[in-house]
Structure 1
Amino acid sequence: MRQASAVHKSKLYEQVAERLGDAIAAGTLRAGDRLPSVRQLSASERVSVSTVLQAYLHLESLGIIETRPQSGHYVRRRERPLPAEPQVSQPSATAAPVSVSALVARVYRAASDPRIIPLGAAVPSPALLPTRRLNRELSLLSRESGEVAIDYDMPPGCLVMRQQVARRSLDWGCPLAPEDFVMTCGASEAVHLSLFAVARRGDTVAIESPAYYGTLQAIEAQGLRALEIPSHPRHGMELDALEAALKKRKVAAVLVVPSFSNPLGSCMPEENRQRLVAMLAARGIPLIEDDIYGDLHFGPRRPRPAKAHDKEGLVLLCGSFSKTLAPGYRVGWVAPGRFREKVELLKFAQTVATPTLPQLAITAFLRDGGYDRHLRSLRRQLSSQVQRMVEAIGEHFPEGTRVTRPEGGPLVWVELPRKVDSLVLHSRALEAGISIAPGPIFSAQRRYGNFIRLNCGFPWSPRMEGALATLGSLARSLA
């Protein structure tokens, strides 16, 4: 407890700084919390603005807080050791049938339980999304749209929605026209339709390794075989390995996530994208490009899709607004190039149409510039949350743990010590009220037994920090 005489002798700004420091030390103000504005603190402490500024400068000089331009003062995050990154993956060179759906179902059942801390499924927190604004748009449109809202929106889909996506393609550095797009029920359907359009049962599709389990399920559902290609944690699919594989066996298509892949978070360099498109075009092999995370870059520029280098119409570009606006609206799209007519027919045969009202609500949001403002905020929040997750893993997980350093998206891929069985860890974590995604669901060959994927899509909080500490303790007990 501070002595009264000491408080009396200290300068006024030091007293203010000390009270704030005590609140931070006690956990009342936590790392990353925004401090009151200078005027707010001046009023509450009944001191001058200059005294508050001195107090903040004093705390900043001690490394306790930090100033963010045009944003305010924040409690500084404590420095934590950062784990090393995983190595390039080394999957088997053999194409394999896929059987992961039963395992994936276990993960999703856990993710749907509101009592569970959701580190498993790759879904953004509703707190980060413009839910109220979209719901207002939806309510207004349902009253004013008349028959348009309830009629079938036949393929290629809602024209005003396709116009907005085409305008956004200018920002991607990949200018496309409204007629280039077919609207779908999320990116998942876009990928399914693309696979149906370019491959037949028994064909082989080359994919990244590890790969998103939704991709594996799509391959499984269509009776295809998956050829896993080694992937770098930062740069994605190893193109030398892909080229070697293409020389040895027939591949019907290549399916990749160049921008912030799931689960690695890797981002394929521009020159690699150009090389990939050229390599496949020379062999007449279609490229299915899943660009669902492209808008969630942490850097100054959005990565250009590989589609930007497509001169032959062989790239089928897939995307959606599920990870940035509204997962439940299921508004996605595909720009299928030369396969457009076939994809339209498959779309009609599979789901007939994409629901109209959600498309119109998102169109209204895009039209007034709300989407760009929202994206800037969402990227900042995700970048901070990813950094905190990596730091917490470094602090709480067993020695020898490795974790990726994504430059976009909401996911991190964690390599645990070899003795840790991620399926066992998954079960024990569920018992503790935490969901995770175990590594084997990201491989047709059930590899990555000591890996897990974690979702950073929820705001950091004491509950989240506690979940990471618990998860690290469980991992240490298995190691």
Structure 2
Amino acid sequence: MLYRELANRLQTLIDDEVYPPGVALPGVRKLSQQHKVSVSTAVNACQELERRGLLQAKPRSGYFVCQAATKHKPPRIRTVSKTPKPVSGQERVLQLVQAANNPEMVNLGTAIPAADFLPVNVIEKAFRQVWREQRRRCVGYEFPPGAPELRTHIARHLASLQCRVNPEQVLITNSCQESIAIALKQVTQPGDIVVLESPTYYGLLQVVEQLGLKALEIPTDPTEGLSLGALELALESWPVAACVFVPSFSNPLGTCLSDERKQQLLRLLEKHNVPLVEDDIYGELPLSGPRPRPVKSWDTQGLVYYCSSSSKTLAAGLRVGWLVPGKNIQRAEYLQFINTVSVNTPAQLALAEVLDKSRYQRLIRGMCSDYSLAVARMIDRVSQLFPPDTRISRPAGGFVLWVELPGKINTTERLQAAMEAGVSFAPGSLFSATGKFANCLRINCAVKWDARVERGLLTLAKLLTA
């Protein structure tokens, strides 16, 4: 698209320090004249660079180059195996997530936002209200498909994103990951091939491993996202049973497919009649600009299985997720029932109470602003402390960074020493079925910034340099 072409040209000028850190870009009208595009194209290009973490908008002042914008390059695209592979070794993740419970550990390893980023008081008030008003209901089961009022609010929210969903099509689950597992159980059998981004969230690999599936990885551009050309080749070469993607703010790269590319993705899957399990857990968290539409919003054939939860926006401890199955809600309900019988009733009702209030969108906007500042701060510190030639992602949403280290540093080998020194991170090999990305790591930016975090980053930088 034209605005992306302009954004790429401006990024080159920023990388070459034609526009150095702290300097204002020409106004959008001036840019439109210089580059012979419309004002709206210039605005969209600046917003795209803002999503990439290169520009910061200042009210009534224009767009300014971020301080860390020219200090690093994005991670490189990696070649991937062209054959499906079974997944193994994901039990290492448990050690990593257990570290999050250690109050002495600087938690950079798990994508769990610190309580300071979450509306704790709002959640507490909602729980008090549902226990006061519905205490008898709170002590009982809320069998699948879940609390009617919560399903109604989720359906209304999806309708605001142009998804054609009614409450009867919404299933409440214990998490986004459980939603993904249920969706895959509906459309696959052990031994089937599923397509994943590369790198991909290790939780998706855990589900694939648990279900006895084979993973076929598709290279992902750190800026543009999933390679649709590589996906088309995979669909033509292999009997793919399903795709599992994070189209809006992927984990760990933070990329977001444009609306145009999301529609191209859906058309490609429709052509081959391959279902998409869409993980939209970060969709609510753009670092700038509007909330992107899910792929589900263009789905007219029931091919998209939509999965999300409240863990990144309201509270991970609620353990409430949801699934909009493509075609068979009854089968999905049964699978959820045999998995865990029901989802925590007070948590469902409390979440419904929060979603019922008009302040929800205001809460999300405040959270996005906080995450944006946290990501920018982490990029700045990592670019200063880590080895020269370190490459850092420019996430468009969410709150994690993907870092590629120079040389042959193996982050898995350095993890134990880092944890013994009181700081955790997620080594890159966890994000691939074939153990690629050995010199990469993912960092959680949503931490309460204090002297401990500064010391932890300094310690980590020394361990990764040694």
What is the TM-score normalised by the length of structure 1? 0.82
What SS class does the counterpart of residue 194 from structure 2 fall into? strand
Residue 388 of structure 1 deviates from its aligned partner by: 1.1
Q: Is the 8 A contact 1:80 1:395 kept in 2?
A: no
Q: After TM superposition, list the pairs within 5 Å mapping 1:87-106 onto structure 2.
A: 87-106=76-95
Residue 67 of structure 1 deviates from its aligned partner by: 12
Q: Is the 8 A contact 1:440 1:448 kept in 2?
A: yes
Match of 1:196 in 2: 185
Inter-partner Cα distance in structure 1 for 2:183 and 2:212: 14
Deviations 1:410-431 (A, max 9, x none): 1110001132110122122112
Q: Is the 8 A contact 1:100 1:444 kept in 2?
A: no
Q: Is the 8 A contact 1:295 1:302 kept in 2?
A: yes
Match of 1:16 in 2: none
What SS class does the counterpart of residue 386 from structure 1 fall into? helix
Residue 102 of structure 1 deviates from its aligned partner by: 2.1
The answer on 1:254 being equivalent to 2:243 is yes
Residue 78 of structure 1 deviates from its aligned partner by: 6.6
Residue 460 of structure 1 deviates from its aligned partner by: 2.9
Q: After TM superposition, list the pairs within 5 Å mapping 1:63-78 onto structure 2.
A: none
Q: Is the 8 A contact 2:402 2:443 kept in 1?
A: yes
Match of 2:263 in 1: 274
Inter-partner Cα distance in structure 1 for 2:445 and 2:308: 20
Match of 1:421 in 2: 410
Match of 2:145 in 1: 156
Match of 1:134 in 2: 123
Q: After TM superposition, list the pairs within 5 Å mapping 1:160-309 onto structure 2.
A: 160-309=149-298
Which one of 55, 77, 83 corresponds to residue 72 of structure 2?
83
Match of 1:340 in 2: 329
Deviations 1:338-376 (A, max 9, x none): 132221121112112111111111111121223212111
Inter-partner Cα distance in structure 2 for 1:472 and 1:228: 30
Matched residue type, 2:153: Q
Q: After TM superposition, list the pairs within 5 Å mapping 1:13-52 onto structure 2.
A: none
Which one of 327, 332, 349 corresponds to residue 338 of structure 2?
349
Q: Is the 8 A contact 2:68 2:379 kept in 1?
A: no
Q: Is the 8 A contact 1:318 1:335 kept in 2?
A: yes
Matched residue type, 1:427: Q
Residue 292 of structure 1 deviates from its aligned partner by: 0.2
What SS class does the counterpart of residue 338 from structure 1 fall into? coil
Match of 1:399 in 2: 388
Inter-partner Cα distance in structure 2 for 1:331 and 1:476: 40
What SS class does the counterpart of residue 218 from structure 2 fall into? strand
Residue 207 of structure 1 deviates from its aligned partner by: 0.4
Q: Is the 8 A contact 1:80 1:392 kept in 2?
A: no
Residue 307 of structure 1 deviates from its aligned partner by: 0.7
Inter-partner Cα distance in structure 1 for 2:68 and 2:183: 45
Residue 470 of structure 1 deviates from its aligned partner by: 2.1
Deviations 1:220-248 (A, max 9, x none): 00111111111111222111001101111
Inter-partner Cα distance in structure 1 for 2:68 and 2:187: 49
Q: Unpaired segments of 5 or more residues in structure 2?
A: 1-55, 61-65
Inter-partner Cα distance in structure 1 for 2:244 and 2:57: 43
Residue 286 of structure 1 deviates from its aligned partner by: 0.6
Q: Is the 8 A contact 2:75 2:393 kept in 1?
A: yes
Q: After TM superposition, list the pairs within 5 Å mapping 1:433-444 onto structure 2.
A: 433-444=422-433
The answer on 1:474 being equivalent to 2:437 is no
Match of 1:33 in 2: none
Matched residue type, 1:251: V
Count residues with an aligned counterpart. 407
Residue 217 of structure 1 deviates from its aligned partner by: 0.4
Inter-partner Cα distance in structure 2 for 1:80 and 1:344: 47
Which one of 323, 345, 369 corresponds to residue 380 of structure 1?
369
Inter-partner Cα distance in structure 1 for 2:359 and 2:58: 24
Q: Is the 8 A contact 1:186 1:333 kept in 2?
A: yes
Which one of 378, 395, 405 corresponds to residue 389 of structure 1?
378
Match of 2:350 in 1: 361
Match of 1:317 in 2: 306
Matched residue type, 2:304: V
Residue 80 of structure 1 deviates from its aligned partner by: 7.7
Residue 382 of structure 1 deviates from its aligned partner by: 0.5
Q: Is the 8 A contact 1:256 1:289 kept in 2?
A: yes
Q: After TM superposition, list the pairs within 5 Å mapping 1:53-68 onto structure 2.
A: none
Inter-partner Cα distance in structure 2 for 1:89 and 1:354: 40
Return 366-375 or 113-122, whichever deviates more: 366-375
What is the TM-score normalised by the length of structure 2? 0.84
The answer on 1:111 being equivalent to 2:96 is no
Q: Is the 8 A contact 1:97 1:444 kept in 2?
A: yes
Match of 1:25 in 2: none
Inter-partner Cα distance in structure 2 for 1:451 and 1:161: 39
Residue 323 of structure 1 deviates from its aligned partner by: 0.6
Deviations 1:153-174 (A, max 9, x none): 1221111001111111133232
Q: After TM superposition, list the pairs within 5 Å mapping 1:437-456 onto structure 2.
A: 437-456=426-445
Inter-partner Cα distance in structure 2 for 1:202 and 1:311: 29
Matched residue type, 1:416: L
Q: Is the 8 A contact 2:68 2:383 kept in 1?
A: no
Inter-partner Cα distance in structure 1 for 2:59 and 2:450: 24
Inter-partner Cα distance in structure 1 for 2:402 and 2:154: 30
Q: Is the 8 A contact 1:321 1:331 kept in 2?
A: yes
Distance 1:394 1:166, change over 3 A: same
RMSD in angstroms over aligned alpha carbons?
Answer: 1.9
Match of 1:123 in 2: 112
Inter-partner Cα distance in structure 1 for 2:283 and 2:301: 22
Inter-partner Cα distance in structure 1 for 2:192 and 2:411: 31
Choose 1 or 2 for highest CA Rg: 1
Inter-partner Cα distance in structure 1 for 2:427 and 2:456: 16
Inter-partner Cα distance in structure 2 for 1:397 and 1:443: 23
Q: Unpaired segments of 5 or more residues in structure 1?
A: 1-65, 71-76
